Structure 1
Amino acid sequence: MQDSTSTNREAEWQVRKDLAAAYRLVAHFGWDDLVFTHLSARVPGPEHHFLINPYGLLFQEITASSLVKVDREGQIVQSGSLHRVNPAGFTIHSAIHMGREDAGAVMHLHAADGTAVSAHRDGLLPLSQTAMLCLDHISYHEYEGVALDLSERERLIRDLGSKQMMILRNHGVLTAGKTVAEAFTYLYFLMKACEIQVRAQSCGPTHMPSAAAIETTRQQSAELGMASKLTWPALLRLLEANGHVYAI
């Protein structure tokens, strides 16, 4: 029979592998921003620790063992080869992890299409089925400058509320999920919706669906996060097929 320490160690290693995979997937889809932006995950156990990328590695370089473990105050508990985390990333991610008990993973990007939509006056529009599936899950947070002021955490938590996606105005996008797989699935839908909107608006006048169709799709989006049960194993196979070695 395994003791609790061994069980916790195995659970943490699984989260590390999943989070490292998510970093590689962000790079695969072209959503990374050099060494900036962050994905994080809560470490199983009572210590209120979470994992985040070391400041200085490209997303395509992240491995399970290179992730840095920090506490809720941003103090490093355990590090890999690099011993620094981005303080702005800590502000944003610690806010969500501290404020939402169900937020096992948090993902934040500066990808061009998401940032473009964040700067659009009307935010995300119901221009596609993908966007309509996202609308009921989205909140907005106004830009306050580079996130170095810890007092912004309470406003981030307030603005996210119970939603799983947030558009950070003039900044980027953020998703939260119970697991890495769920948070990444929300992220994929949100980024795809933003990409479609940017392309559609570049073509000229757009066609808006009926209010009834928007409402029907909103109701159908309730279990959007459940798609991760299908998408995540397929995404891991994609990484394997492309020769990514991240589970080390």
Structure 2
Amino acid sequence: MKQAATAAPTTTSDDEWQARCDLAACYRLAWHYRFTDLIYTHITARVPGEEGHFLINPYGLSWDEITASSLVKIDVDGNKVDDSPYPANPAGFTIHSAIHRISHDAAWIMHTHTRAGVAVSTLNEGLLPLNQIALQFHNRISYHNYEGIALDLGERERLVASLGDNPVLVLRNHGLLTTGTSAASMFNTMFYMERACEIQVATLSMGQPLRAVPDNVVDHVAKQYEGSMGEDDDVALEWAAHLRLLDRIAPDYHD
């Protein structure tokens, strides 16, 4: 049975508290599925009803330590706008702020440095259409060339231009980024993008000739995913299953 979430503090709106609980859940799930990079990289969420304010992880905490109340509220430049005792990492927010500022649909953004994701980001062709999971991303991935550690605010416009209208951005020689209108959609996209990268790394490591999927089948399966597969109800069911997992292994995420 799903455990009831801790009530919102009197100084926090119900909508913000729900966003905090969902974002804390994303961090705990990312830790569980080994998507983390110690204390680095970020998952961020726009604060509902507050223009230009976002929630981000408290810099220095491991992702399995993050709770709804420990998340830090920041502005578009990465400056704290609440009285949190925890620091934020403004430099790390460059990538997120670029997309949050421009795209209203990208209310949720997740960036990872996983082994498989970074490995695929170093390949000229990026993610290959070699298996069913990868095919759901056909024509849904953008690529951005590596420019160094994301400290240059001038890169923000180029990041947004690279992403375009796709939900996935492969940062070449760097890692993966997914966006979504909700925590569920963002996390679902990252979960399967990461799985596709893991399968590709395993496939290429075998050193055997590759069996390509014919182009017409690639297009067909991609359209199938756009139609009957991956609907909002399916994503909601997956998200509910993720939250039940957390209620069993880390129920304090919504504290």
Classify the secondary structure of the residue corresponding to 1:91: helix
**TM-score, normalisation: structure 2:** 0.91
1:182 and 1:225 in contact (8 A); partners too = no
**TM-score, normalisation: structure 1:** 0.93
Among 16, 40, 44, the alignment partner of 1:36 is: 40
Shift of the 222–57 alpha-carbon distance from structure 1 to 2, 3 Å rule, reads: same
Confirm whether residue 237 of structure 1 aligns to residue 241 of structure 2. Answer: no
Confirm whether residue 66 of structure 1 aligns to residue 73 of structure 2. Answer: no
Among 127, 131, 134, the alignment partner of 1:131 is: 134
Rounded Cα–Cα distance in structure 2 between residues aligned with 1:215 and 1:28: 33
Confirm whether residue 169 of structure 1 aligns to residue 187 of structure 2. Answer: no
1:48 maps to a residue whose letter is G
Among 156, 159, 163, the alignment partner of 1:160 is: 163
2:107 and 2:181 in contact (8 A); partners too = yes
Deviation at 1:88, TM superposition (A): 3.0
Rounded Cα–Cα distance in structure 1 between residues aligned with 2:107 and 2:231: 13
Shift of the 119–79 alpha-carbon distance from structure 1 to 2, 3 Å rule, reads: farther
Which residue in 2 is equivalent to 1:3?
Answer: none
1:8 and 1:44 in contact (8 A); partners too = no
Classify the secondary structure of the residue corresponding to 1:70: strand
Which residue in 2 is equivalent to 1:212?
Answer: 216
Task: Identify, as 1 or 2, the structure richer in helix.
Answer: 1
* 5+ long unaligned stretches in structure 2: 1-9
* 5+ long unaligned stretches in structure 1: 1-5
Share of identical aligned residues, percent? 49
Runs of 4+ residues over 6 Å off in structure 1: none
Classify the secondary structure of the residue corresponding to 2:188: helix
Shift of the 212–33 alpha-carbon distance from structure 1 to 2, 3 Å rule, reads: same
Deviation at 1:8, TM superposition (A): 7.3
Which residue in 1 is equivalent to 2:19?
Answer: 15
Classify the secondary structure of the residue corresponding to 1:41: strand
Where does 1:43-82 land on structure 2 (aligned, <5 Å)?
43-82=47-86
Rounded Cα–Cα distance in structure 2 between residues aligned with 1:155 and 1:192: 27
RMSD, aligned α-carbons: 1.6
Classify the secondary structure of the residue corresponding to 2:43: strand
Listed one character per residue, the Cα deviations across residues 192-214 of structure 1 (whole Å, up to 9, x for unaligned) are: 00000000111122211111110
